Amino acid sequence: MKRWTEWGIIVLLLLALDQVGAAGAGGKYDRLPQIGLASDFTLTTHEGKRLSLHDLRGKIVVVTFIYTSCADICPLLTAKLVGLGPGLGADLGSRVAFVGITVDPERDTPPVLKRYAAEHGARVAWAFLTGTRAEIGEVARRYGVYYRKTPRGDVDHTFLTSLVDQNGILRVQYLGVRFDPEEFLRDLQSLVREARQG
């Protein structure tokens, strides 16, 4: 019971952070709020290479959590994020990177993630990451993502997508998949402008 109570508190905090981010995107603030230093991680990419969040310093990084055998929400979230690419133009890759971290590391090996990336057209600026159960569990915990495998093999997890600025600061977190892609794009573009201004 205690575990679920703590989880409820986390969800409420994330919802509050989501509202802060939405207020920033709506133009009430000149800059998006700074939540705090984003937790670093080092995981294995869909290309079989090790990648750390600090390797992407200097870029705005979108961090989200998915798993490849998900039949409903994960593909929708991935498609939504991939669909932001055209709106970013030349900044995609050069100033903005996307990171999808699996919550099913036992099944989502680098080859499986590579196939998932190809199926969803997530080529430019994307890295899909996996690791050991312990590594994934620690990263998920640090980013406020809860997950558990069900008896039938699915993975129940929270859908939380974070925006990390060029200095490694966590700026906005989007809870769920029903976010407005135009708002999300505006937040990204706002962070790109900040990066250009130095």
Which residues does the annotation place in the binding site for Cu cation? Answer: 70, 74, 157
**Within 10 Å of residue 121's Cβ, how many Cβ atoms?**
13
Binding residue positions: 70, 74, 157
Residue type, 36: G
What are the DSSP calls for 88-136, one per residue?
Answer: HTTHHHHTEEEEEEES-TTT--HHHHHHHHHHTT--TTEEEEE--HHHH
Q: Crossing angle, helix 181-197 and helix 2-25, to 10 degrees?
A: 70
Sign for the pseudo-dihedral over CA of 16, 22, 23, 24: positive
Q: What would the two tokens of residue 101 be?
A: 């971290």
